[in-house]
Chain A
Amino acid sequence: MAHGRVVKGVSFVGLRDVGDPVELATHYSDGGADELVLLDIAATPDDSSTMLEVVAMVADAITIPFTVGGGVRSVRDAAAIIEAGADRVSLNSAALATPSLITEIANRFGSQAVVVAIDAGDGVVHTHGGRRPTDVQTIPWAREAGDRGAGEILLTSIRQDGQRTGFDLELTAAVRDVLTIPVIASGGAGSAQHVAEALRVTEAALIASIVHENPTGLPGLRREIESFGIALRPWKERA
């Protein structure tokens, strides 16, 4: 998301508007998504009230869990998002800058409320929407985030993001192997087969482009994923 709208880019750049967040969230909730992630990639302090309004509207519109990230820099920011109706907050550069923030939020809301998002490329963590490499190694950082109380890792491959050529399965497996918390694979989903491949490696896979282009196509995508032998939760399309 950026400035209250849903946007999508390729490798984190070239953003274009793909719709209204509440409308899309409702489509996905009704269409069989297991959970949603709303990331404000243009978050500035000026935007935080816009984001909180969107969070509250989404919370009232859907009946599945959702995570909100972008611009969470303090326990107070996290509390405002959770009180507005989100289930989890996602921390990215703020967790790198202040790792104790992970523990502070987990102590107040429980580990299940804290996702640490890692934008990974060439073995290191990137910040600033994937544009700036740091000297922090991806795998040790994922392990540290788990040790500090993160309940889940949202692992995005910068190289694969928006390419629709499949997830980075090697990266996903490598991170998952060193952790005892769940890992969400992100970046690269272009087909049901890609999602099925990711779900053989880890617990959860994030999709964006493929549903944003066809918001009503989710029930069909679910059936297709199941046709690859992946057991999704029992779900019935509304009559």
Chain B
Amino acid sequence: MTSVVVVDYGAGNTRSVRSALRRLSYESVLTSEPTAIRDAEIVVLPGVGSARSAMNHLTSTGAVTAIRERFSAQKPIVGICLGMQLALDRSEEDGGVEGLGLIPGAVRRLPGGRVPRLGWQLVTPVNEAFYFAHSYFAETPCATGFSDEVSAIVESGSFIGVQFHPEKSGDAGLRLLEQCLTRA
């Protein structure tokens, strides 16, 4: 059984991500320990919380360095929602926060419509609906999937990130999460 490390950054709902992993027959460990993050077969950066508190937590535990080393070594990393956004160079959330810098680009506030953007939206080219809950989005040349004009899937090297919550998107979400986990 493949072991997955779910990165603990002290905020939010990691239970649902781990529950989805269990459904897909992956065993998971929740930790912020740098060695575990660097050496795991797959790392998942889950996504609830605010950018600043997440980055502060990841920096203080040494996880930031471990994640960057993993990325340089081309080991798979899956980012979900905020976990995807953290991979970019910077975010304008919370007055401006430096990100992990794995993916070129910046995280910006959604420009229009009802914000937060909540609910199920169709993603192309996957052609399935997934559940979104966000106020910020990734502006990056690495987007490979879109929902309306918003980047929904972001890929570079060993990193794949999604703006939506596959763990909350029913059967279609589980199928997509499995594709992310087996992508590397």
Do most interface residues of chain A lie in helix, strand or loop, or is the interface mixed?
Answer: loop
Count of chain B residues near A, Cβ 8 A:
36
Evaluate whether A63 and B170 lie within 8 angstroms (CB atoms) in the complex, with A181-B116, A203-B114, A203-B118 already known: yes
Chain B contacts for A238, CB-based, 8 A: 171
Report the bound CA distance from A59 to B14 in whole Å. Answer: 10
| Interface stretch (choices B31-39, B47-55, B64-72, B151-159) | B47-55
B133 near A109 with CB under 8 A, answer no
Could you give, for residues 53-64 of chain A, a 1 whenever the CB lies within 8 Å of some chain B CB and a 0 otherwise?
000100110011
B49 near A59 with CB under 8 A, answer no
Does B115 lie at the interface of the complex (its beta carbon under 8 Å from any beta carbon of A)? yes
Count of chain A residues near B, Cβ 8 A:
34
Does A197 lie at the interface of the complex (its beta carbon under 8 Å from any beta carbon of B)? no
| Interface stretch (choices A16-24, A83-91, A126-134) | A83-91
27 A-B contacts (beta carbon < 8 Å): A34-B120, A56-B15, A59-B19, A60-B15, A63-B23, A63-B171, A64-B169, A65-B168, A82-B48, A83-B14, A85-B13, A85-B15, A87-B16, A87-B48, A109-B48, A110-B82, A112-B116, A112-B133, A113-B12, A151-B118, A152-B116, A182-B119, A204-B118, A233-B119, A233-B121, A233-B129, A234-B128
Q: Which residues of A contact B (CB under 8 A)?
A: 29, 34-35, 56, 59-60, 63-65, 82-87, 107-113, 151-152, 180-182, 203-204, 233-236, 238
Q: Which residues of B contact A (CB under 8 A)?
A: 11-16, 19-20, 23, 48-50, 53, 82, 114-116, 118-122, 128-129, 131, 133-135, 165, 167-171, 173-174
| Interface pairs A-B: 7 shortest CB-CB | A233-B120, A85-B15, A233-B129, A112-B133, A112-B116, A65-B168, A151-B116
